[in-house]
Structure 1
Amino acid sequence: MRNDISDLITFISQDDLWSGRLQEVVAEHLMPALDEFDLEYDDLPEVLGEPWPGVLWGCGFEDFLSRQYEDDNIVDLYLKRRGWNEPAANREYFGALRDTPVRLYEVSGVQPGVSMVLGDLLGDTKPVTVLEGSATQSLKQWDRIVVRVIAENDAHVISGALLAFSQEAVAFLIDGLSTVLSVDKNDELSLTTKQLLKCAPIFTNAWLFTALPRALSEELPELSNADGEDIMFHDLRFPFETGVTQKEVSLCLNEANFFAADGARCWTWLAPHSSKAPRERDGLMLESQTDGRTVLGHLELKGKALLINVNSSARADRVRNLVMNAAGQHLKQPLTTIRTVEQMMAEEQVESDLEDADEIPPEIARQIVQEHMDQHYRETLDAPIPALGGKSPNQAVRSKAGRAKVVDWLKKLENNSAKHRNDAIEEYDFGWMWAELGLQEHRK
């Protein structure tokens, strides 16, 4: 296994002093955000999903390897005591991790499964081509990432802990570094290796402080109905007894005063007019009303069965009893399907995708999108853009400061397009815009 760090981790775990130091460094990377959002490390798999808890721990671990304590550095100590048992490549890799700071890079020249070019955004190091098979499968042109780049023989590789940074995370990072280093926030940051090594926890915190709010807001709120019951969709199917017709069941349901006819074969189950006000509860209430009465469920005759939809377990029990009392002689016991809110949403998405699929042949759709985007962006070159101070791209490129803004604007356009779910938009080539504006040398 290339660059195997398992023996190094075992060595640290067997020493209480160094194990404690590692935990302290990892805490510097994680605890400010965890405390802010009232979370534990064990909550991260559920909130962020895999593999992020391990990656975040890796950020702290790689930082720990660079820490110099009064008595020693853990990499130096390990190599002195156990280095003889490690391949030369591993010894060199551990030493490189010790001396290499984490940096903020801009991604370009992505060759999926092969390599990418990384440009340093916080220092003066030259762009470097990195050999990488996994990360290049998902990274797009102009993405921003935080990682350590390690020189290995005549090539470069990245360390194990890589964080993709959103624009919001980059701004958070720049603000945090400027504050810690007492740099004017309007000045361009250029950090030395020593400064970067000391600021490693700020990178992880910038990612967490922007990723956690998004992840937590994406969680579905607690949903209940007007009776204060948890939302759980129940679909009940009452098969007809042998020889029973829809008309017979329909007559029984029409005689029941709690079911309001909604067509020849459909009914709405309504709460009585005297029903109490909805129960107060944290989260959101999922409910609808008709004529001031709460809708408790829907009934429909379909083929040789009565179908009923309600949104809680308690309502499923109640409507089962009501229906059997009203038309039980005509119906068999129901078959029930239960679905969560998440399952219902997933099913609706699948149905939507199927409806949209194959409406337009892919080659025609791609041509339509290509022509539309060509026309749109050609008009945009002469349109005022807020990000360019109200100037058009053609006007802004006439000054040095304006050209820098146009480059940033183009990168954002291209990066957003590369991440689009529509293949035609994702594959759109912005090269002509860079050429039109005379900025080809900035598009590596």
Structure 2
Amino acid sequence: MLRVEPGRGFRLCDILTGSETEVIEKTGSQIAQIGDIRFARIVAVADLAVLDGCSPFAIPPQNKLAIIALRKRMQVAGGPVTDRSLDEWTEELLELYWDLVEPILNPRPPELRNTDDDPLLFHKLVFDVSSVNEAFDALCDLSVVQDRPSLLAEAKVGLNGVLSSVEIPWEKRGNKLHKHWDNTVLGRLLIEDTRLTAEVNSKRRAKTIRALIERRLGDRVRYRTTSTESPQSMLARTRKADERKKPGRTHEELVAIPEVREHLMQELRAHYEQWVDAPIPLLDGRTPREAVKTADGREAVAALVLQLERDGARMTPPLDPVIVRDVRTALGLQSD
């Protein structure tokens, strides 16, 4: 949908053929949004065009990329797409339609991933160690933010002056997803007496930290076990625990604090400034700045930015419209 006049109608563009039509639709136009995608048939009589059959589901802008991909296949097979040639692709069009509405009919929670693009699965690895001191000496440099003295300053010491408990953040410099981050927290290590526990949020990080611990400590460490917990399970458990605690500030109360709100917007602004030059899987690994150099790529990126704008408007607090405007400006999409 290119333009919507609530209570009257809208201007539609056929994604496959490129044709544009003014459609009279009193009821549907009251809930339609610019960028909505509809599976529909348009019937025109003289200067009047109406919808003769229309899917009840509004397909979100980001799914336009799948339609563009099918259009490319159609063009390769038979040249420019026309109303007549669409009849030859009925089966493929219906299959794509059901693929796109399936998440609407049966929504599933999004797959959560960490900043290394690993699926989130919380791991707790348990080891036996000879002593806190030995384990600490071998692993303390895993923290790139805190040095040895600052880690020890937060440690617990027994009555005999011997180190009894110490925590080590496992970190690395920078972040491949968020270029403006100075460092990334990969996990957390806790050493208590003769027990070492490592907590990470993915299978790959669990494999890495186990190999690292065993290599550094050698025969002074013994692997015991690993337990895992899904993000959904952890969230449910955390909510139950929060219900038993004294109520704290809600998310809405926190973001109402000017300093918190400003920091959040700074993070989002920095993220989207680098997003235009980040490889995007939906763009076949191209960056948005690279993709807009072709007509199909420009159309695809414009759809992604429109989706960003919609999703941002539903955030709490809403995404600053200036951020979306700056993304469009950086990509030359101001008029799209």
Whether TM-score is above 0.5 comes out as no
Normalised by the length of structure 2, the TM-score is: 0.42
Normalised by the length of structure 1, the TM-score is: 0.33
The structure showing larger relative contact order (alpha-carbon pairs under 8 Å, at least 6 residues apart) is 2
The structure with the larger Rg is: 1
Relative to its length, the structure with more strand (as a share) is: 2
Relative to its length, the structure with more helix (as a share) is: 1
